[in-house]
Amino acid sequence: MSFTVRDAFWNKYRTLVADVMLPYEYDALNNSLADASIEKSHSLENIRIAAGESEEEFRGLVFQDSDTAKWLEAVAYSLLYKPNADLEKKADEVIRLIGKAQDEDGYFNTYFKLNRPQSRFTNLLEAHELYCAGHLIEAGVAYFEGTGKRTLLDISRRFADLLYRIFLTEGKKGVPGHPEIELALVRLYRATGEKNYLDLAKHFIDERGTDPDFFVKEAAARDWNVWTPNPKDTDYLQATRPVREEENAVGHAVRAAYLYTGMAMTAHETGDETLLAACKRMWRSIVDRRMYVTGGIGSTAVGEAFTADYDLPNDTNYCETCAAIALIFFAREMATMTNDAEYADVMERALYNNVLASFQQDGTHFFYVNPLEVDPALAGKIPLLRHVFPSRPGWHACACCPPNAARLLSSIDRYAFHESEGVLYADLFLGGTYDSATAALTVESALPRSGEVTCTLTRGADITLAVRIPSWSKRTVIRRNGEECVPTMQKGYALLNNLNAGDAIAITFDMTPRKIYANPKVAADFGKCAVSVGPRVFCFEDVDQSAPLEGACLKRGGALRLVQSDAGDHGGFYVRAEGTMSQSCDGLYSYHAPDEQPCELIAVPYHIWGNRGLGRMKVWLPER
The least CB distance from residue 552 to a second copy, in Å, is 9
Query: What's the CA gap between 562 and 560, in Å, rounded?
Result: 7
The least CB distance from residue 548 to a second copy, in Å, is 8
Report the candidate in 248, 282, 247 with the shortest Cα–Cα distance to residue 262.
282
311-328 exposure pattern, b = at least 16 Cβ within 10 A, e = fewer:
bbbbbbbbbbbbbbbbbb
**282 is an interface residue for a second copy by CB under 8 A:** no
Whether 295 contacts 319, CB under 8 Å = no
Burial class (CB in 10 A: 0-12, 13-18, 19+), 97: buried
Among residues 400, 539, 553, 599, which one is catalytic?
400
Whether 4 contacts 81, CB under 8 Å = yes
Instruction: Point out which span in 134-142, 452-460, 491-499, 589-597 binds a second copy (CB under 8 A).
Output: 589-597
Report the candidate in 317, 322, 286 with the shortest Cα–Cα distance to residue 302.
317
Instruction: Point out which span in 66-74, 206-214, 375-383, 475-483 binds a second copy (CB under 8 A).
Output: 375-383
Query: What's the CA gap between 174 and 176, in Å, rounded?
Result: 7
**373 is an interface residue for a second copy by CB under 8 A:** yes
**528 is an interface residue for a second copy by CB under 8 A:** yes
Report the candidate in 139, 79, 2 with the shortest Cα–Cα distance to residue 417.
2
Instruction: Point out which span in 51-59, 249-257, 286-294, 330-338 binds a second copy (CB under 8 A).
Output: 286-294
Peptide bond into 448 cis (omega under 30): yes
The least CB distance from residue 283 to a second copy, in Å, is 12
Q: Which is nearer to a second copy, 572 or 598 (CB)?
A: 598
Burial class (CB in 10 A: 0-12, 13-18, 19+), 393: middle
Instruction: Point out which span in 150-158, 255-263, 501-509, 548-556 binds a second copy (CB under 8 A).
Output: 548-556
**491 is an interface residue for a second copy by CB under 8 A:** no
From 267, 293, 575, 602, residue interacting with a second copy (rule: CB under 8 A): 293
**382 is an interface residue for a second copy by CB under 8 A:** yes
**228 is an interface residue for a second copy by CB under 8 A:** no
The least CB distance from residue 520 to a second copy, in Å, is 4
From 287, 341, 467, 619, residue interacting with a second copy (rule: CB under 8 A): 287
Report the candidate in 419, 522, 517, 512 with the shortest Cα–Cα distance to residue 466.
419
Query: What's the CA gap between 495 and 492, in Å, rounded?
Result: 9
Q: Which is nearer to a second copy, 414 or 491 (CB)?
A: 491
The least CB distance from residue 346 to a second copy, in Å, is 11
Whether 138 contacts 187, CB under 8 Å = yes
The least CB distance from residue 546 to a second copy, in Å, is 14
Question: What are the phi and psi torsion angles at 166 (to 5°)?
Answer: -65, -50
Question: Rule CB under 8 A: which of 121-160 touch a second copy?
Answer: none
Q: How many other CB atoms are there within 10 angstroms of residue 597's CB atom? A: 12
From 491, 582, 612, 614, residue interacting with a second copy (rule: CB under 8 A): 582
Instruction: Point out which span in 143-151, 170-178, 263-271, 586-594 binds a second copy (CB under 8 A).
Output: 586-594
Number of residues interacting with a second copy: please give it, by CB under 8 A: 62
From 30, 102, 109, 299, residue interacting with a second copy (rule: CB under 8 A): 299
The least CB distance from residue 597 to a second copy, in Å, is 12
**587 is an interface residue for a second copy by CB under 8 A:** yes
Instruction: Point out which span in 81-89, 113-121, 272-280, 546-554 binds a second copy (CB under 8 A).
Output: 546-554
From 551, 558, 579, 615, residue interacting with a second copy (rule: CB under 8 A): 551
Report the candidate in 210, 337, 194, 204 with the shortest Cα–Cα distance to residue 262.
204
- Cα of first residue to Cα of last residue in the chain, in angstroms, is 50
**527 is an interface residue for a second copy by CB under 8 A:** yes
**222 is an interface residue for a second copy by CB under 8 A:** no
**316 is an interface residue for a second copy by CB under 8 A:** yes
Question: What are the phi and psi torsion angles at 4 (to 5°)?
Answer: -105, 120
Whether 557 contacts 622, CB under 8 Å = no
Active-site residue flag, 304 = yes
Report the candidate in 10, 32, 19 with the shortest Cα–Cα distance to residue 394.
32
Q: Which is nearer to a second copy, 57 or 288 (CB)?
A: 288
Whether 434 contacts 393, CB under 8 Å = no
Among residues 129, 138, 304, 541, which one is catalytic?
304
**474 is an interface residue for a second copy by CB under 8 A:** yes
Query: What's the CA gap between 314 and 86, in Å, rounded?
Result: 42
Query: What's the CA gap between 249 and 258, in Å, rounded?
Result: 12
**589 is an interface residue for a second copy by CB under 8 A:** yes
Q: Which is nearer to a second copy, 2 or 583 (CB)?
A: 583
Burial class (CB in 10 A: 0-12, 13-18, 19+), 405: buried
Catalytic residue ranges: 304, 400
Q: Which residues bind a second copy (CB under 8 A)?
A: 287-289, 291, 293, 299-300, 302-303, 305, 307-311, 313, 315-316, 373, 375, 377-378, 381-384, 472, 474, 514-523, 526-529, 550-551, 553, 556, 582-594, 622-624
